[in-house]
């Protein structure tokens, strides 16, 4: 049988077996998840107004200072989207709840950043000629790191993003010296060093012709040159894949500052696999803690550190299973065997408790929000409704803030009360690249 | 028009997203059925894909890349479904609907290709479906599958070689059986 016959056979077979239309019930499940948002607390209306005002110059109301050491400090990637009456959609990083200081991200186009201050004032910090995403607060809450790009134009339809920081009390953005980089197709938010002196981010090199795999870069915020930490082999059209590490995601600096954890895809003589790894901030001592076959989906997300910086938790398919729901696993940087926790499908790691004893998870499935006991591996479901996108512990570890499809909840996981503290919101995608929030008690 | 709908959906417009879903569902379902050879699993894969698309849509920078981006998510979902099916040891079969067969279809040939196609890896089925059936070019297929263009060509060749070898083996087996019966 020659090649032409194979093609003809395939054509005939495809004609017979290809369905002519989708079943009528193929769609409904989608819309059960993407709930219509609604307005409570009057927030959505203000955000709609803000969206209309995005053309105005950026400014910050200086009389309203941030209360930096107060309550729920939202970091990293979880974004809540808020839809206003006029259909405007914003994503926001809750910064504090009781005092009401919040940073919001408009979902444009163009997308931009703005501050929701304690009195309800919303002020844009993104200039009208730029698009800005993925804001991450510094460890002390005084600054925000984010990606910033000029607006698309006909002459430059795909402008490069730059890393930028804004002073959280003044809002003025200062570009970091990373001007030639674009973001991968699935961007991963930057992560601050514990001392706030640098961020680590996944960025594309200028000569990377396919926007699918970036490099790990450390960018000092003092203006000195960015430093490549780990590089992916270049991916170009028409070239075969080289062995190496690709598609870094979920990058996170360890609490002690000694390591950087990440996940991604590995290509070697055994083919493609997913991996979780750590490396020293100087690029030395690369350790791949876990690898598994690359055949599944939802293989994106975060890696979270234990408070003592000795272990990382992440989600992956169970051992020996080609695909299926994501389960929480723990790997030690000393190379001890990887340990799966209780099988709870599609649980995405969110944050390790301050005492190291528990791990909170979230996820798209309605029953993904759990608290896992690290020692026993057992899981207990959290009493929140619907999909969840981020969870963070209070400093004492006795409460969790959980971002849901429609609400921000405070949960006492040991059986206490669950209260809804912010409603009328709907979550968006940034859990895709590693959900995380953090919480500081007043005065700490 | 699609670009406008994608931009509206990125802003959270449910109607726009629903409209996009309606447009895409047939093609997505066809892709999933061909890759998975399982109607129920294909339905699940499409639903999961659309949920994931909704959640990640705001991060899509170039609305014109929407179609390929969705297909990429779907293919990954299909790969996941294959593993899930193995895990659960539940395999349902897609019925061949005789009424949809083209007049010239040789049912023996169709049966042979069906068996051979099922013996391919999910990645091989995906590349044959996307490239050969749905007409995506090398570059688009590479984008959807997340592999270099060179790998598209080599994987496509290997898939067709595997298909041919499987059909040839099937034919030899039939010939041998007929000989023994004679």
Q: Which residues of B touch A25 (CB under 8 A)?
A: 43
Residue pLDDT, tens place only, B85-103: 543 333 333 444 444 445 4
State which residue of chain B sits closest to A294, comparing Cα positions. Answer: B79
Tokens matching residue A313 = 């938790």
Taking phi first (over 0 means left), then psi (-120 to 50 degrees means alpha), and beta for anything else, what does residue A79 get?
Answer: beta
pLDDT at res. A376: 94
Closest CA to A80 of A405, A387, A418: A405
Cβ distance of A17 and B142 shorter than 8 Å: no
Closest CA to A199 of A209, A207, A208, A189: A189
pLDDT at res. A282: 94
Closest CA to A212 of A236, A194, A195: A236
* Residue A346 pLDDT level (bands cut at 50, 70, 90): low
Residue pLDDT, tens place only, A303-336: 899 999 999 999 887 766 644 567 889 999 998 9
Cβ distance of A321 and B87 shorter than 8 Å: yes
Q: Which residues of A touch B146 (CB under 8 A)?
A: 212
Tokens matching residue A358 = 């528990």
Euclidean distance between CA atoms A252 and A444, whole angstroms: 23
Tokens matching residue A206 = 């200028």
Tokens matching residue A91 = 């994503």
The residues near A363 (Cβ < 8 Å, ≥ 6 apart) are A326, A346, A347, A348, A369, A387, A388
Chain A contact probe: residue of B26, B58, B165 with most A CBs at under 10 A: B58
State which residue of chain B sits closest to A319, comparing Cα positions. Answer: B87
Residue pLDDT, tens place only, A385-398: 766 767 778 777 88
pLDDT at res. A234: 77
State which residue of chain A sits closest to B142, comparing Cα positions. Answer: A237
When pLDDT is averaged across residues A157-182 and rounded to a whole number, the result is 67
A238 lies within 8 A of chain B by CB: yes
Cβ distance of A34 and B77 shorter than 8 Å: no
Report the DSSP beta bridge partners of residue A402. Answer: A391, A409
What distance in Å separates residue A107's CA from the closest CA in chain B? 6
State which residue of chain A sits closest to B12, comparing Cα positions. Answer: A89
Q: Could you tell me which residue, A7 or A296, shows the higher pLDDT?
A: A7
Residues of chain B falling short of pLDDT 70: 1, 11-12, 14, 55, 58-59, 61, 80, 82-107, 173-182
CA A96 to chain CA centroid, Å, is 19
DSSP string, A319-341: TT-SS-S-EEEEEETT-PPPEE-
* Residue A144 pLDDT level (bands cut at 50, 70, 90): confident
Q: Which residues of B touch A16 (CB under 8 A)?
A: 96-97, 100-102, 105, 110
A157 lies within 8 A of chain B by CB: yes
């Amino acid at each position: 049988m020659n090649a032409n016959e194979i093609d003809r056979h395939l054509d005939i077979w495809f004609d017979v077996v290809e369905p002519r239309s989708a079943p009528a019930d193929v769609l409904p499940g989608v819309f059960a998840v993407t709930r219509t948002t609604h307005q409570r607390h009057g927030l959505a209306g203000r955000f709609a107004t803000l969206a209309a005002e995005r053309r105005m110059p950026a400014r910050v109301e200086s009389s309203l200072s941030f209360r930096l050491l107060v309550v729920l400090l939202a970091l990293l990637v979880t974004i809540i989207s808020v839809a206003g009456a006029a259909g405007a959609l914003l994503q926001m990083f809750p910064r504090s709840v009781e005092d009401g200081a919040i940073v919001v991200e408009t979902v444009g186009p163009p997308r931009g950043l703005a501050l929701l201050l304690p009195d309800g004032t919303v002020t844009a910090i993104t200039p009208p000629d730029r698009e800005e995403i993925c804001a991450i607060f510094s460890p002390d809450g005084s600054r925000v790191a984010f990606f910033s790009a000029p607006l698309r134009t006909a002459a430059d339809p795909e402008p490069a993003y730059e890393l930028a920081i804004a002073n959280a009390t003044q809002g003025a953005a200062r570009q970091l010296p990373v001007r030639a980089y674009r973001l991968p197709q699935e961007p991963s938010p930057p992560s601050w060093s514990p001392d706030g002196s640098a961020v680590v981010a996944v960025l594309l090199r200028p000569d990377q012709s396919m926007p699918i795999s970036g490099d790990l870069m450390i960018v000092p915020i003092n203006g000195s040159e960015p430093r490549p930490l780990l590089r992916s082999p270049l991916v170009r059209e028409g070239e075969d894949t080289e062995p190496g590490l690709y598609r870094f995601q979920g990058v996170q600096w360890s609490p002690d500052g000694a390591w950087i954890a990440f996940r991604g895809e590995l290509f070697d003589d055994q083919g493609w696999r997913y991996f979780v790894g750590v490396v020293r901030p100087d690029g030395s001592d690369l350790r791949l803690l876990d690898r598994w076959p690359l055949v599944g989906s939802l293989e994106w997300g975060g890696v979270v550190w234990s408070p003592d910086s000795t272990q990382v938790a992440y989600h992956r398919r169970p051992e020996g299973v080609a695909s299926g729901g994501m389960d929480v696993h723990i790997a030690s940087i000393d190379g001890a065997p990887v340990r799966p926790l209780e099988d709870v499908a599609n649980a995405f790691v969110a944050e390790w408790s301050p005492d190291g004893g528990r791990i909170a998870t979230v996820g798209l499935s309605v029953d993904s929000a759990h608290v896992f006991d690290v020692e026993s591996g057992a899981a207990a479901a959290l009493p929140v409704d619907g999909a969840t996108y981020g969870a963070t512990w209070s400093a004492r570890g006795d409460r969790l803030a959980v971002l849901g499809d429609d609400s921000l909840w405070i949960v006492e996981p040991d059986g206490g009360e669950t209260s809804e503290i912010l409603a009328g919101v709907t979550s968006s995608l940034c859990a895709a690249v590693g959900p995380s929030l953090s919480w500081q008690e007043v005065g700490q | 028009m699609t670009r406008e709908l994608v931009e509206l959906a990125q802003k959270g417009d449910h109607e726009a997203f629903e409209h996009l879903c309606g447009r895409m569902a047939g093609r997505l379902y066809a892709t999933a059925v061909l890759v998975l050879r399982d109607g129920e699993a294909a339905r699940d894969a499409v639903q999961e894909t659309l949920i994931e698309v909704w959640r990640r849509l705001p991060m899509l920078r170039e609305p014109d890349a929407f179609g390929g981006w969705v297909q990429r998510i779907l293919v990954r979902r299909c790969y996941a479904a294959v593993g899930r099916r193995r895990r659960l040891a539940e395999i349902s079969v897609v019925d061949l609907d005789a009424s949809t067969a083209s007049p010239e279809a040789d049912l023996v040939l169709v049966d042979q290709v069906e068996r051979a196609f099922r013996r391919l890896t999910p990645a091989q089925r995906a590349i044959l479906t996307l490239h050969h059936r749905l007409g995506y070019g090398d570059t688009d297929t590479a984008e959807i599958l997340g592999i270099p263009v060179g790998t598209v060509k080599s994987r496509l060749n290997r898939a067709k070689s595997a298909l041919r070898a499987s059909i040839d083996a099937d034919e030899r087996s039939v010939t041998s059986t007929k000989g023994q019966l004679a």
